[in-house]
Amino acid sequence: MEDNHEASIKDEVEAVKMKRPHVFILGAGASRAACINGDKNNRALPLMSDLVEVLGLGQTLKDWGFDPKGNFEDLFSSLHEKGEHEKIRSVEVIVENYFKSLKLPDRPNLYDHLVLSLREKDLIATFNWDPLLLEAYLRNKNSGLKLPRLVFLHGNVSIGICSANKHVGVLNGICSCKRLLTKVPLLYPIGKKNYSDSLFIANEWNVLKRYLKSAFMITIFGYSGPKSDQEAIALMSEAWGPGSERSMEQTSFISLQSEGEITENWDKFIHSHHYEIQKDFYDSWLANHPRRTGEAYLHQYLEAKFIDNNPIPKDLDFPELWKWYDQFKPAESSMSN
């Protein structure tokens, strides 16, 4: 006999009910978590707090009269405020060359699992300059699944744009008009970033704001909302709207910060107790309900049913991983027909 108080894994996989997007917002902590032991060539994924050390900028900054142990955001903001254009460009070259050199490990990792576990209606918005998310997206396009949209809020070293028709794609790719796609600007940590100055970045933010307005869930992963990003947080908050009007939505955090720090930094995005905090991506709502976060959300919170987890298998290689995700295709295919 069917139990109306439970939703099985089969029920979850076969139900494609949620039309509203799940918005995933990534900070540097997400890339660090994806490559906790370094990238394919053992290069570390830096955070703003250790970027100076990881990129070997310490002696250069010391020669310029800066404390090399300082936070990169503070150091770069200081250079900008002083109008040190030559020094800024020197730092930018080092930063861009380092991030361009980063590569995903050959086996599937957290970023592969992330892009496979969201649907076409969903959005991943990243503040990160590194190419790892895009690399994961590109190597999973042959999985037979429709993947989420990506936006790059601070630019990205792997993204290019056509100067003529503004088509966006992989850097150094060829536009339909036969022009080479040239690099987009990176947005560096300064107090006033002027998100509207770059057409590319302005468009990326417009996409995020549109998705946030209709989202049923947002997940903030490895992004602390630093002081230099208060303008960004204000833009997101405006799109999300007052927390008091989000009584049925859920906010999820994947972070090493304390609960007090998180709720203080993100109070505008939280309605009452409607939030969850995990320290590990694989304990998150998405990792336990891949491609069905919305359906699991409806079952548990709106229909008051007990639900079972359907966790991502972390140890499968390609193409076994894609085969595991085949379970989702029939229901999704029937909905798109």
Instruction: Give the confidence band of 231 by pLDDT, cuts at 50, 70, 90.
Output: confident
124-133, 169-178, 200-209, 230-239: least confident range: 230-239
Q: Give the residue among 99, 226, 194 at the shortest CA–CA distance from 91.
A: 99
Cα separations in angstroms, 104 against 34, 40, 132, 333: 9, 5, 6, 30
Largest alpha-carbon pair distance within the chain? Answer: 75
**pLDDT higher at 267 or 6:** 6
Per-residue pLDDT averaged across 125-135, rounded? 97
The 10s digit of each residue's pLDDT in 88-127 is: 999 999 999 999 999 999 999 999 999 999 999 999 999 9
Q: Which residues pair with 267 in a beta bridge?
A: none
Q: Where are the domains of the chain?
A: 6-41+106-156+193-336, 51-100
SS3 218: strand
Query: Spelled out in words, what is the top-level CATH class assigned to the domain 6-41+106-156+193-336?
Result: alpha beta
Question: CA 184 to CA 241: how far, in whole Å?
Answer: 30
pTM listed for this prediction: 0.94
Per-residue pLDDT averaged across 272-286, rounded? 89
Q: Which residues pair with 254 in a beta bridge?
A: 221, 278
**% of the chain with per-residue pLDDT over 70:** 94
Question: CA 246 to CA 251: how far, in whole Å?
Answer: 10
Residue 246 has pLDDT above 80, yes or no: no
Q: Decide the pairing of beta strands 22-26 and 217-221.
A: parallel
End-to-end CA gap in the chain: 31
Per-residue pLDDT averaged across 62-87, rounded? 87
The 10s digit of each residue's pLDDT in 152-184 is: 999 999 999 998 888 999 999 999 999 999 999
